[in-house]
Amino acid sequence: MMLSKLSTRLRHAGRKLLLSSGEFSAGPKNYARGTHFKYFPCEKQIVAGETQKLNMYQAINHGLNIALENNPRSVVFGEDVAFGGVFRCTMDLKNRFGADRVFNTPLCEQGIAGFGIGLANAGISAIAEIQFADYIFPAFDQLVNEAAKMRYRSGSMFDCGKLTIRAPCGAVGHGGLYHSQSPEAYFAHTPGLKASRNAFFIVVPRGAMHAKGLLLSCIDEPDPCIIFEPKILYRIAVDEVPVAPYKIAIGKAEIVRSGDAVTLVGWGTQVHVLLEVADLVQEKLGVSCEVIDLVSILPWDAELVCKSAKKTGRVIVAHEAPMTNGFGAEIAATIQTECFLHLEAPVQRVTGWDCPFPHIFEPFYLPDKWRCFAAVRDSLKY
C-alpha cells in the first residue's frame, strides 16, 4: 500500500523532472556539447515490474525518496541539499520529509563527515552529500581514521555502518582542477570503508539504473560506504529505471558486452567510452572486446576480471584519474599475479596523465576513445 503510493508519487515526479523526455532515443546518442563519449543506456532488466525513463539525478532522487520513506530514522544532509541540491538530486525531499530530516549544514566537509559518523553511531541512517568529490579531502581524516576504523578499533562494540557519503566526481567538460577529480584510489587504500557480504565501500554507477540500485545498497549496508556519482551523467544518463526499490550487488563487476579478443575494464563514465572503443575495434580491426564495468572499487571483483583476462589474454584498464597509484595499478598487479601464464601482452593502463586536471586541455587529458583504441591495437599487435 505504502509502496504503491510512493510509486505513484515517484512516477509523477519523474515526468515532472525529466526535461524534454521525448528527445531520448533507446540507442546510443552523441550529446555534442562538451562530452567525450556517447551514452549507452542500460538494457539489462534487473527486476521485473514497471519502469520509467529517468536520468541519473532523478534516479538518485527516487532512491533517496525510498530510503527516507522506508526508514523514519534516516536523514539527508550536506551543503545546499535543502533547496534540492546543486545537481537537483535532493529536490522536494525537504518538503516531503521535513526540515529535521533533510537539512543544510554549515559549509565544512570535515564537519559533515564527522557529524554523519555520530548520527550513525546513534543508529540513524545518515546520508551525507559532499558537493564535489574534489572537496572530500577536508573530510579525509574523518573518513580514513575514524569511519573506516571504528568497528575494528572498538572490537565491534561501536560502528558507523549506517553512514553513506555521496559525492559527484569525474570530468564534466570544463570543470578544471576542482570540479573534475576522481579520488577513488585514495580511499581504495583504506581497509574498513564499505560493507558486508558482497557490498563494498566505493562504488561508481555508470548510469541512472545503477545509481538508484547502488545507492539503496549502500544505505542498507552495515559498513560505511562512499558512492562517487559521475556528474557528467546526471542529465545525460537516461535509463528505463524500475519504479520499485531494488538493489545492485556491490562488490560484483558486470560484463556489459561479451567478447574474446581483449578485455576492457573501466567504471563510471569510462564504461561508455570503452563500449564505443569496442565498436571501433570491431569495425576497424574486426575483433570483439569484452567490456567490464567494475561497479565497485573496494573490494573489487577480481574473480570476474581475472576470468575474462584468462579468456582473452589481453587487458586494458582505463580510468580518468591519474596513472601513478591509480586503481588501475591494483588491477594490473592482480592480473599479473593471477593470470601470468594466460597473458599474450602486458596489461595496459589508459588513464588521465599524472598532472592536475586541466581546464582548456581537458580533451588532451582524458583517456578518450582514441587513446583507448590505440592501446587495444598495440595490445593486439604485441
Instruction: Count Cβ atoms within 10 A of the Cβ of residue 212 and give its class: 0-12 exposed, 13-18 middle, 19 or more buried.
Output: buried
**Count of alpha carbons within 13 angstroms of residue 141, beta-carbon side:** 5
C-beta closer to other proteins: residue 113 or 236: 113
Q: Which three cell numbers stand for residue 352?
A: 588521465
**Count of alpha carbons within 13 angstroms of residue 125, beta-carbon side:** 18
- Of 53, 94, 151, 319, the residue at the interface with other proteins (CB under 8 A) is 151
Binding range to other proteins, per CB under 8 A, among 8-16, 40-48, 141-149, 238-246: 141-149
| DSSP codes, 273-298 | HHHHHHHHHHHHH---EEEEE--EEE
The yes or no reply on residue 189 touching other proteins (CB under 8 A) is no
- Among residues 69, 79, 109, 254, which one is catalytic? 109
Strands 289-293, 262-266: pairing is: parallel
Binding range to other proteins, per CB under 8 A, among 42-50, 83-91, 151-159, 286-294: 151-159
109 as an active site residue: the answer is yes
Closest CA to 236 of 87, 136, 92, 372: 87
- Of 146, 220, 254, 290, the residue at the interface with other proteins (CB under 8 A) is 146
Query: Taking the mean position of all CA atoms in its chain, how far away is CA 200?
Result: 12
The yes or no reply on residue 359 touching other proteins (CB under 8 A) is no
283 as an active site residue: the answer is no
- Among residues 179, 210, 272, 319, which one is catalytic? 179
C-beta closer to other proteins: residue 126 or 292: 126
Q: Which amino acid would we find at residue 175?
A: G
Distance, in Å, from the CA atom of 94 to the CA atom of 78, rounded to the nearest integer, reads: 12
- Of 11, 35, 86, 138, the residue at the interface with other proteins (CB under 8 A) is 138
List residues with catalytic annotation: 109, 179
The footprint of other proteins (CB under 8 A) covers: 73, 75, 100-101, 103, 105-106, 108, 110-111, 113-124, 126, 138, 141-142, 145-146, 149-159, 161, 191-192, 194-197, 200, 222-223, 251, 299, 302-303
